[in-house]
Amino acid sequence: MDKKWIKTIGILLAVLMIGSIFVAAFSGFGDQSASDSTEVAENSTEITGLTREEASERAIDLISDYLVENGTDVELLNITEIECRKLYGLEINLSTDMNSQIVEAYITGDGELFFTNGIDIDEFIARNQPPEETIGGFLTRGDEICEEDGKPIIYFFGHTGCYFCEWEHPVIENVTSDFKGYISVHNNMDSAGTDMEVFKRYSTGSVPVIVLGCKYYRVGSGGNMGEEEEAKVLTALICNLTEGRPSGICNEPEIVELMDQI
């Protein structure tokens, strides 16, 4: 069987299993025991669930839009309500003498189903919206601005021997030097360091990659625009992140004009 098809089937089965767990977890709240009802009343929280039809539609839409390749037919064969009354979310600390890590897990109220990963559907959809293009070929997908010590983080990823990386690197270094005190620069030339997760999120695997405050990103250099125009684009985007500071840089007419196009 084709490996791509096997992967597709695996994703479908995994997501449908998760969907079944969530349907069961929430649909059961309507007929809880008296003790459970008392607990809900004490917490002043009323939990309602999806109908079978609503749950099916939500799961199929998620799979069709985000989890399989275009052209894949997704058909619901069956939906089963698993007889469990609750779903518990666990936060677990795993530690050794060397380090520690906090992980999330879930277990159903009957103690029969345990899984370590779940999909927050609304968050997943928000993070996977197709990006929009802005000035200088930069893309934006609505991620929140990432900061360090209250300052937007500017990431550069590249390596020596890459012509376009070596072209772009001094340009962004010169631009960011004008924003000292307003931004935090992570200069990852020849090493992703601790920023590998950022690289994975915004890169296709190629370099150079520029990520401006996790709000604007681009794979590739601005060589087609030339150094002067590239510097203006970078300046305008960073000024947008710093809310126009420093004013001596961001209030330049040509920068203001570009900011109006973002």
Whether residue 98 sits in one domain with residue 142: no
Domain enclosing residue 116, as ranges:
3-125
Whether residue 113 sits in one domain with residue 94: yes
pLDDT tens, residue by residue, 26-66: 433 334 333 343 343 334 344 457 888 988 898 889 888 88
Whether residue 150 sits in one domain with residue 94: no
Whether residue 119 sits in one domain with residue 141: no
CA distance 206 to 199: 10
Instruction: Give how far the C-alpha of residue 108 lies from the chain's centroid of Cα atoms, to the nearest Å.
Output: 27
174 contacts 231 by C-beta, under 8 angstroms? yes
Burial 172-202 (b: 16+ CB within 10 A, else e): beebbebbeebbbbbbbbeebeebeebbeeb
Which pTM value belongs to this model?
Answer: 0.59
CA distance 188 to 204: 16
Phi/psi at 137 (5° precision): 75, 10
Whether residue 75 sits in one domain with residue 175: no
pLDDT tens, residue by residue, 60-86: 898 888 888 888 888 988 888 776 668
Whichever domain contains 215, its CATH number is 3.40.30.10
Whether residue 119 sits in one domain with residue 69: yes
* Total domains in the fold of the chain: 2
The predicted structure's pLDDT at residue 85:
63
